[in-house]
Amino acid sequence: MFTLTKKGFETKNIVPYGNMFLIGNGHLGYRGTLEEFKKKELVGLNIIGFYDQYKDKWRESLNAPNPFFVHIKTKDISFSVLDTKPISHTQSLDLKRAIFKRYTEFEQITIQSERFVSQVEDNVLCMKYQIICKVDLELDISIGLDTAVYEINGPHYKSKKVHSNNKKVEFVGITNEDKFLHMKTCYSFPKRSTYINENGIYKVALSAKKYKIYTFYAIAKLSENQMLNSNIEIAEKLYSKYKEEHSKAFKSLWEYSDIEIAGNKEAQFNMRYSIYHLLILGNKNYKTSIPARGLSGQTYKGAVFWDTEIFLLPFFSYTNPSIARSFLEYRIRTLTGAKAKAKEYGYEGAFYAWESQETGLEACSKYNVTDPITNEPIRTYFNEKQIHLSADIIYALEEYIKITGDESILLEGGLEMAFEVAKFFMSFAKKIGSKFHILDVIGPDEYHERVDDNAFTNYMAKYAIEIYMKYAKKLSMFDCLLEKCAHFIEHLYLPKPNRKKLIEQFTGYFDLEDATVDIVRSRLRVPNEYWGTENGVAYPTRIIKQADVITLLCLLNSEFDKETIKANYNFYYPYTEHGSSLSASMYSITGFQIGKKKEAFEMFMKSAGIDLSTNQKLYAGGIYIGGTHPASSGGAYMSLIYGMAGLKIIEDKPILEPNLAKGILSLQFKIKIKEKAYCIKVYKDNSYVVEVLK
């Protein structure tokens, strides 16, 4: 139950398998492509937090050259799955140890390989590549550093220098922003092979004997903006050492991360696969946050969204708090950028970037989608109107403190951050009569832009200001706004449940066309057309992209009674298109809590299995949006612990209200709450046991 295996090769699966078999360590991500692939097949070694901009194109994270390129051929045959149909082909991913493997059998040779990105040394990655011939063959093998880098908005390297000697390749790339990437790669070849060097690619001649195993090794080390001082020597012992250290370190991460599900093998595997994708995001040495597409590439500019705070932080807070803290430290470090954005738009305080890179300045453009028919850019307002992110960050700060008890982060910038966010919302709001209104915004449902009094935004703004007030009073710091804040939240307009207990998503939502998802889909001119913006097919209707009011009821669950939650779930569920991977988990959590177990379980499986599908949504309005979905993985974790297990923290202790789905016999997981560790077991009769671990 800890191995992902796919058999057979089809070209249509190259891109989804690249995502599916991703390996990484929170600093580097290497896509699950095959060694003979090149940039056309989207080979990607992505570097988190390292950005560049080419001319007026989107600024995005960088891909490094591929150190693991291998292509085998004879005089007549190319042993690449792109050129020659294999007899059999298998790709696998060891989830417990984060090691990728491939096995490909051709008529005359068999190829097997494995690779990993070190969990111990965060800038090291290693490969072992083996050939077994069925007959004696004269092989020509190309192995080395492929500097033809796949890029979405490049070229990002204005210069590339390659020096190679004695099976070692050194690369220095200078970016358009005058940063540099230094990479050292070492290779080892089988004995009695000969080779020549062609600018980083070694041409190896091998007289291969029948049934003899020939092994190649490659180890690469990267550094951004700092030259690597030490040399790396390649040897089987060095590879084995790195592999043993990495395997041990990664396996140890599962101790507090695993969730055991009895009664449904598919659910068990999907959950563990999701946990794997969460685990490869963490890095104790590399202090940054997590982009929306994780380590899988340059999609969405490699930028950080609200996904991290709302969907990823709970998992790490319960299992590895130091990494959860680093996500908040990133927001504290980028407070200057958020304040600069607020000032640019004429507001006070901190207006956090919808798409944030290393400085916190806004990376989101005015035109984020294109018309798939005319290819003309379409104006979107995400950068100006997605203001709820600032509140989401303060919500995450409070969740982290509630789970870990670590209030020291408040004195290290957390309270100042909350102070600046409170200032921002009060300067953004407009007073109309006796009430403050938050106008002209975009909520989580991005199909409806520039709406007034979005319920999610208004309630989250109020909550963020209350968190600021709570800690400003407690610590007697940054407390100059307290009186103004109290007046503001007392008079802030909050959409209340109507007589049917429904909360209007935004002013005028109930007046929109009462259409179905299928009807709206039938109005698309082409499948990749974007549903949103004022000319989008969903805009005049009640059809929404993702959970909006339901996300509010999920995050601020204790502020609403169960009847209100149930009424809104039943109302909004049919109108939700789930065009975002963030949507399913919110409905899953809420569904379990109100007894909609069948739908809730379906939404959990959708969330947990999204990156196991080869039928992924790769384009939105002509823009490539492919890659992994770490927020969906985090949402799957939340679906089980908050939804199915019904976990709540009351007086610093775990209290459960279980809602196990049909067929699930038991759940078992470990969590940490305020430096105490617990093992929780939930049974099919909804009884449970909480064991305090030593």
What value, to the nearest 5°, has the Cα angle with vertex 342 and ends 336 and 347?
140
> Tens of pLDDT along 75-96?
999 999 999 999 999 999 999 9
The full set of domain ranges for the chain reads 3-232, 259-693
30 forms beta bridges with: 23, 45
Please give the pLDDT value at position 287: 74
Please give the average per-residue pLDDT across 615-632, as a whole number.
Answer: 82
The residue ranges of DSSP E strands in 74-212, in sequence order, are: 88-94, 99-105, 109-117, 124-133, 137-146, 157-165, 168-175, 180-188, 194-198, 201-208
Phi and psi for 318 in degrees, rounded to 5? Answer: -80, -25
What CA–CA distance (Å, rounded) separates 75 from 140? 8
What CA–CA distance (Å, rounded) separates 271 from 52? 35
On the question of pLDDT at 619 being above 90, the answer is no
> Tens of pLDDT along 397-423?
999 999 999 999 999 999 999 999 999
> Tens of pLDDT along 238-282?
899 999 999 999 999 999 999 999 999 999 999 999 999 999 999
- How many CB atoms lie under 10 A from the CB of residue 264? 17
> Tens of pLDDT along 138-172?
999 999 999 999 999 999 999 999 999 889 999 99
- CA 15 from chain center: how many Å? 17
On the question of pLDDT at 135 being above 70, the answer is yes
Task: Return the percentage of the chain with pLDDT > 90, whole number.
Answer: 91
Put simply, whether the predicted model's pTM sits higher than 0.75 gets the answer yes
Please give the pLDDT value at position 661: 97
Domain 3-232 in CATH 2.70.98.40? The answer is yes
Residue written as token pair 């307290």: 482
What are the b/e assignments for 450-470, b being 16+ CB within 10 Å?
ebbbbbbbbbbbbbbbbbbbe
Catalytic residues: 446
Structure-token pair, residue 118: 């070190």
Antiparallel, parallel or unpaired: β 213-224 and 201-208: unpaired
pLDDT band at 622 (very low <50, low <70, confident <90, very high): low
Topology at the third CATH level for domain 259-693: Glycosyltransferase (1.50.10)
430 forms beta bridges with: 437
Phi and psi for 464 in degrees, rounded to 5? Answer: -60, -40
> Tens of pLDDT along 23-34?
999 999 999 999
Please give the average per-residue pLDDT across 442-458, as a whole number.
Answer: 98
- CA 272 from chain center: how many Å? 16
Please give the pLDDT value at position 237: 77
Return the higher-pLDDT residue of 394 and 230: 394
Please check whether residue 637 is in contact with residue 275, taking contact to mean a CB–CB distance below 8 angstroms.
yes
What CA–CA distance (Å, rounded) separates 500 from 496? 11
